[in-house]
Structure formats: structure tokens, C-alpha cells
Amino acid sequence: MDQRVGHGPNLAGPQYNPGREAGMPTYEYRCLDCRKRLAIYQRYEDYGRVAVACPHCGSANLQRRIGRVRVARSDESRLDSLSDPTGWGDVDENDPRSMARMMRRMGSEMGEELPEEFNDVVDRLEAGESPEDIEQDMPDLGGGGAGGDAFED
């Protein structure tokens, strides 16, 4: 069965397949070259044995990501957790990695699926990239509101 993707280079191997078989697991990756997130459907027995590549740029330089696990919590419980000042004492607003940890925590406490841009920003902060550089690369960040910087107070 040919499972090549219609975008980018013509690659053999398991790739995005919207007509995937029932029960076939999704493996989430991030391409370390083009920074895109991708999901690859693959049979259990093929995982780790069949090479995978990014459907966007063709790179095999992929990092496996673990999907989110949902825990049922009330809105009140989530807000209580976020409002506890002892949980924020180690946040250094001048350290991108510290800001990334804070953003990941806030994102997970919200319990909702966040836009891909949020995860892209946090990944770049975790890598030590400055908020200013990220904002320059992503001018529409923050909804494109008039006159405000997405990372400013």
C-alpha cells in the first residue's frame, strides 16, 4: 500500500493517511528542521522499524512528542491552582525557558486544546529563543490587535 504524502518530496514510508485503518495509532512528531508538528498513523508493529519523514519538508530529523492526556477537573479547581502564588515564585520573566515553563503550566491547567501557535511559541522559548525574535518571526501572534506587542505587559 502506497502511503506517500502529496506535499513536499515524494517520500516512501508511513505518512499522514486520512483514510487510516480503525485502531491505527497516531504518533505525534515535531520536525526539527521546519518546526512543523505532524501526526503519522502507523501500525504498532511498524513503529520504530519503518522510517518516517516530515510531509512538509521531507526531513527525517523528527522528535517524538507525547500526546496530551486529559484529566477531568472543575473550572474552580483549575482557577484555584493558577491563583496559588507559591506556584509562580520561580518564574523569571527575563528567562525564556522559565517563561515557557509558566506558559506550559497555564496551558495544561486550562484543560483545553490550545492553538498550534501557542505550542510553537512555547517550544521556541524552551529552546532559549527570545520573545522578541519569536514575535518578529510571527507578526500575527496575539490576534493582530492594534498597537500591542504580544509579549509586552
pLDDT at 55: 92
Q: What is the pLDDT of residues 39-96, one digit of tens each?
A: 888 888 888 888 899 999 999 999 988 766 666 667 777 677 777 766 667 778 888 8
Residue with cell 524552551: 126
pLDDT at 106: 81
| DSSP state for residue 115 in the 8-state scheme | P
Residues near 30 by beta carbon (within 8 Å), at least 6 away in sequence:
36, 37, 38, 62, 63, 65, 123
pLDDT at 60: 93
Mean pLDDT of 143-153: 45
Mean pLDDT of 93-105: 86
State the Cα–Cα distance between residues 123 and 136, nearest whole angstrom: 16
pLDDT at 72: 65
Top pLDDT among 143 and 115 is at 115
Cβ atoms 54, 38 nearer than 8 A = yes
Binned at pLDDT 50, 70 and 90, residue 125 comes out as: very high
Nearest to 16, CA basis, from 27, 34, 114: 27
CA–chain centroid gap for 122, Å, is 8
Q: What is the pLDDT of residues 5-41, one digit of tens each?
A: 333 333 334 444 444 455 667 888 999 999 999 888 8
